[in-house]
Amino acid sequence: METIESAQHALTLLKVYDLYLDLWKRENGPDNRGLARQIAVVALVTRRQLGLSAHDALPLSVLAFRKSVDVTPGAFRKSHSHARALLDHGTVGGLPIWQLVSQIDVNHEQLLPKVDALVQKMNLPAALAARAALLGGTRGGRPVTNGRAHVLEGVMGLLAKVARGDAGASVELDAISELISQRTA
C-alpha cells in the first residue's frame, strides 16, 4: 500500500513540476532541461518529501515519467541512466546533490524550484565520467562493446592469411568484396 501511495505522490509531483516548467518558460523563454534532469528533480523532491531512499525515489520518478513523455524506449533508457548518474555522482560546488537537497530549508511550495535550480547547476558529463571512473571505465556499468568488432577481427585475420600466401583466404576475401560491392551498388 505504501508503494502505491508513493507512486501516486510521484505522479502528482510530476504534474506540479510540469506546471512549474510551463510557468518558468513563460517567464524566462525557451528551456533546455533534458529529460534526465527532469527525472532527477522529481526523484530528489520525492525522496525529500517522502523520506525515501535514493534507490526507491528514482524508480518512482521514472514510473511517473514513463507514461507522460513521448520519446523512444532507447531515449528513455538513456535518460533514466543519465538521471541515475546525476543522482549518484552529481555534485554542485563539490557537494553531492542528495546532501544539498537534504540541507535546503524552505517550505513545501519552495522546494521544487530550489531543487530544480540545483539540478540545473549540475554537470552531466562530469557525473557520467565519475560513474565511469568508479565502474572501471565502463559506461553505465556495462563493458564498452562494438557490435562489429568480431567482423573486423575476422577480416583482419583473412588479410593476415593472404599476406602469408593462403589462397583459400584470398578467395574468401574476394567473395566478401564482391558481396559488399553488390550491396552498395
**pLDDT reported for residue 83:** 93
Q: Which residues contact 131 (CB under 8 A, 6 or more apart)?
A: 85, 88, 89, 140
- For residue 143, tell me if it sits in a domain: no
Residues 157 and 87 in one domain: no
Domain count, the chain: 2
- For residue 159, tell me if it sits in a domain: yes
Cα separation, 9 vs 179, whole angstroms = 57
Residues 85 and 160 in one domain: no
**pLDDT reported for residue 1:** 43
pLDDT tens string 133-154: 888 776 655 555 566 666 777 7
pLDDT tens string 102-128: 899 888 778 888 998 999 999 999 999
Closest C-alpha among 49, 51, 17 to residue 35:
17
Residues 34 and 116 in one domain: yes
pLDDT tens string 47-81: 888 888 777 888 888 888 887 788 888 888 999 99
- For residue 161, tell me if it sits in a domain: yes
Residues 166 and 118 in one domain: no
Q: Which domain holds residue 13?
A: 2-134
Prediction pTM value: 0.67
Q: What is the mean pLDDT of residues 83-93?
A: 92
> Contacts for 52-60 with beta carbons within 8 Å, 24 or more apart?
52/6, 54/87, 54/88, 54/98, 56/6, 58/83, 58/84, 58/87, 60/6, 60/7, 60/9, 60/10
Residue 94, pLDDT above cutoff 50: yes
Cα separation, 58 vs 52, whole angstroms = 10
Residues 175 and 93 in one domain: no
The residue type found at 52 is L
The residue type found at 148 is R
Residues 44 and 129 in one domain: yes
Percentage of the chain beyond pLDDT 90 is 17
Residues 125 and 153 in one domain: no
Residues 173 and 123 in one domain: no
166 vs 9, 22, 176, CA distance in Å? 69, 68, 16
**pLDDT reported for residue 92:** 92
User: What confidence category does residue 85 fall into, taking pLDDT thresholds of 50, 70 and 90?
Assistant: very high
Residues 99 and 44 in one domain: yes
Cα separation, 46 vs 2, whole angstroms = 13
User: What confidence category does residue 176 fall into, taking pLDDT thresholds of 50, 70 and 90?
Assistant: confident
Q: Which residues, listed in sequence order, are joined to residue 142 by a DSSP beta bridge? A: 139
- For residue 77, tell me if it sits in a domain: yes
Residue 158, pLDDT above cutoff 60: yes
- For residue 141, tell me if it sits in a domain: no
- For residue 160, tell me if it sits in a domain: yes
- For residue 142, tell me if it sits in a domain: no
pLDDT tens string 16-31: 777 777 766 677 666 6
